Amino acid sequence: MKKFLLVSICLIFTFFAGAQVNGDFRSRITGNWGTAATWERYNGSTWATSTVIPASSAANNGNVTIQDGHTVTVAALVSQGVTSLTVGGYKWCIKYWRF
C-alpha cells in the first residue's frame, strides 16, 4: 500500500511539475555528462548552451532532463547531487541524486 501511495504521489507531482525553472539543465546532444557542450541551461527565458555541467559546484544542483534520442554517459564520479532527473520523459522521484 505504501509503494502504491508513493508511486501515485510521484505521478501526480510529475504531471504538475513540468515547467522549467532558472538553472535547469537539458541535454543538447548525445555526449558525456562531464562535457558542458552536452547541455543547455535555462536562463529564465530561453535555453542556451551551458558553460557548466549539471551537479557541479557552479550548477546549483537543479533539475536535469535527458531528452528523447540522447544518450548521456557518466564517465566519472559525479560528486554533487541534482534535485531531479528526467530521462526520456520519465521523472525519477528522488529528492537528491548523487552517482
Q: pLDDT tens digits for 38-92?
A: 999 999 999 999 999 988 777 666 789 999 999 999 887 776 677 778 887 777 6
41 by Cβ neighbours in 10 Å (0-12 / 13-18 / 19+) ranks as buried
Question: Structure pTM?
Answer: 0.70
Q: pLDDT tens digits for 15-48?
A: 445 578 888 999 999 999 999 999 999 999 999 9
Cell of 26: 537539458
Q: 25-27 and 31-32 as β-strands: parallel, antiparallel, unpaired?
A: unpaired
Please answer whether residues 92 and 86 qualify as being in contact, where contact means their C-beta atoms are separated by less than 8 angstroms.
Answer: yes
